[in-house]
Amino acid sequence: MKSRTSKKQDPKSTTQPTSETINWYDHPEWYEAGFLKETPTEARFLEDVFRKYVPFPVERILEAGCGSGRLVREMARRGYAVTGMDLSQPSLDYCAKKLKEMGVRAVLSKQDMTDFHFDQPFDAAFNAINTFRHLETESTAANHLKCVAKHLRPGGVFVLSLHIVPSDGELWGTESWSVKTPQYQIRYSLTVKEVDLDKRIEELKMTMKVSIDGQEKKLTDLLRLRLYNVDQLKSLLEKVKALELVGVYDFWFDISDPCRLSKKSCDVVLILKKKA
């Protein structure tokens, strides 16, 4: 995402929070705080998937669009040889700093997930929480899937999590949640501002209200994501012959509770296997 212009208010004001339009991914610590609670569940699920679907021990893994690296760090801590790839330098720098603090290693690489290159293949790869939907066109989405497939060992898996629009689903809405730590409190909200069904793009207003040292900062970003319904997702998957859909789950990340892609599907985790 590109940085946007900033609009500042008097920082000394105690009644009005300071307000800035930013790129969320330039603030990796605050961004990821909103998703840290889910991280152990997602990491455990990835390990369950490796055990269930991969016919060899999984060691080398890749995260596409790893951002601040909450999953890179968790999987490295669990003993995997992890590579994280992203375009956001502040996020990669933050991840490197946290890895050093933890005393664990991972490879971090600034590359585009639609056209990346690594010398060695991976046993498994993953792409979490709608990162895939940053790819705004059919061709960039297909390129990503093909590039991942090219980098997987035959029999290896790609775990892809994304929100799709159910046939009776509401396109408009707001989602809000809060996170409190001893250092700060952050309130997050995501609101759908624009929907273009022809271009299959939704524009989300993302707000973080960060309370820190008695001051409140309001940070706002606009994010464009590609929309999928189940047929559009199936049609895209059909274009990538090297990957076969072998499992579907939802955002409960429960390996004992697989589901199917259907018109009612909403939050899906696809298990795509590299064909032999």
Ligand X SMILES: C[S@@+](CC[C@H](N)C(=O)[O-])C[C@H]1O[C@@H](n2cnc3c(N)ncnc32)[C@H](O)[C@@H]1O
Residue 98 vs residues 110, 111, 157, 249: alpha-carbon distances, Å: 17, 20, 27, 30
Question: What is the C-alpha R_g of the chain?
Answer: 19
269 close to 159: Cβ distance less than 8 angstroms: yes
Q: How far is the CB of 46 from ligand X (least distance, A)?
A: 12
Which x/- pattern, by CB under 6 A, does the window 94-113 give for ligand X? ------------------xx
Residues in contact with 100: Cβ distance below 8 Å, sequence separation at least 6, in sequence order: none
Does 156 help bind ligand X (rule: CB under 6 A)?
A: no
Does 133 help bind ligand X (rule: CB under 6 A)?
A: no
Q: Which parts of 6-38 fold into alpha helices (H)? A: 28-33
Q: Which parts of 20-59 fold into alpha helices (H)? A: 28-33, 39-53
Pick one of 106, 128, 141, 162: the residue that binds ligand X (CB under 6 A).
128
Which range binds ligand X by CB under 6 A, 2-10, 81-89, 173-181, 191-199? 81-89
Pick one of 87, 179, 195, 236: the residue that binds ligand X (CB under 6 A).
87
Does 158 help bind ligand X (rule: CB under 6 A)?
A: no
Helix (H) or strand (E) holding 85: strand 81-86
Pick one of 30, 74, 76, 91: the residue that binds ligand X (CB under 6 A).
91
Which range binds ligand X by CB under 6 A, 122-130, 188-196, 202-210, 212-220? 122-130
Instruction: Give the total of residues touching ligand X (CB under 6 A).
Output: 20
List b or e across 197-227, with b for residues whose CB sees 16 or more CB atoms inside 10 angstroms. eeebbbebbbbbbbeeeeebbbbbbebebbb
Pick one of 43, 71, 147, 210: the residue that binds ligand X (CB under 6 A).
71
CA atoms within 13 A on the CB side of 214: 3
Does 88 help bind ligand X (rule: CB under 6 A)?
A: yes
Does 83 help bind ligand X (rule: CB under 6 A)?
A: no
Does 226 help bind ligand X (rule: CB under 6 A)?
A: no
Does 247 help bind ligand X (rule: CB under 6 A)?
A: no
Pick one of 25, 45, 94, 158: the residue that binds ligand X (CB under 6 A).
25
Residue nearest to ligand X according to CB distances in the complex = 67
DSSP per residue, 144-193: HHHHHHHTEEEEEEEEEEEE---TT--S--EEEEEEE-SSEEEEEEEEEE
Does 86 help bind ligand X (rule: CB under 6 A)?
A: yes
Q: Given the rule CB under 6 A, which residues bind ligand X?
A: 25, 32, 35, 65-67, 70-71, 86-88, 91, 112-114, 128-131, 134
